[in-house]
Homo-oligomer: A and B are copies of this chain.
Amino acid sequence: MSDNKTSQDTRERILDVAERLFMAHGYEGTSMRMITGDAEVNLAAVNYHFGSKEALLREVFRRRLAWLNHERLHELDALEAEAGGAPLKPSQVLEAFFGTLLRMGENEALGGMTFLRLLGRTLTEPADFIRTFFAGEYAEVIERYKLALFRALPDVPKAEIIWRFHFMLGAMSYAIAGTDILQVVTGCELGDLSGEKAGERNAAKQLAARVMPFLLGGLRAPLPQFEGDAYQQQEMPLPKTA
């Protein structure tokens, strides 16, 4: 074993530690000194390698989302090629979108459950630059899957599909990010999702088995009855952008 530290090591060690600390304490709750301290690098190393704390957070996500985005598009391409122009089944679309995500949680080299939890939590972070960044990173993939869901559910109004896509994202984010909250709230163990007994691979697999039926049930639920003034339009409003 050697104590040599190449600059590549420094960069990645910073990213790994930042990923874990941002997950545990949030963006504003994690200081540069916490990161550089845990990573055993000099305080100035972050600004030297990444430029700023904001840029560091972006890079933490970019190295993971690059794989996730590519994989999600690839899976959808493969399914659509196999279907030969026919609409996919809703379960196939969900499996491609959320299954890909959950497979990241099984693979330590892709960030494992740490990154999944970070992702789930960060989606609700209020900081403007974070939301702007995510919108840009996600736009293409979301658009593709949105269209796939439209085709998979031709009888469901498009606005309703978008709403339910939103609800599914929330259920998944929360399921991943807030595992321990529920344990506290319910006072119950929920199996070894905490990952200490059977490791994180099993945790992600268990979560998948639990959450996918729920999502599919919600997506395919009967359409709401609109009465009174609660809701007037059944069709999708005009898109704001192209």
Could you list which residues of chain A lie within 8 angstroms of chain B, going by C-beta atoms?
23-26, 28-29, 120-121, 123-127, 131-132, 134-135, 138-139, 142-143, 146, 159-160, 162-175, 177-178, 180-191, 202, 205-206, 208-226, 229-231, 233, 236-242
Contact = CB atoms under 8 A, between A and B. Distances in A.
B188 A166 contact: no
| Chain A facing B: main interface SS | helix
B184 A131 contact: yes
Q: How many copies does the complex hold?
A: 2
A240 B183 CA distance: 9
A25 B174 contact: no
Nearest to A240: B189
B216 A230 contact: no
Nearest to A138: B185
21 contacts: A24-B126, A26-B26, A121-B126, A142-B185, A142-B186, A143-B187, A163-B190, A163-B210, A163-B214, A166-B178, A166-B190, A167-B171, A170-B175, A187-B239, A187-B242, A188-B236, A189-B237, A202-B229, A205-B230, A205-B231, A217-B217
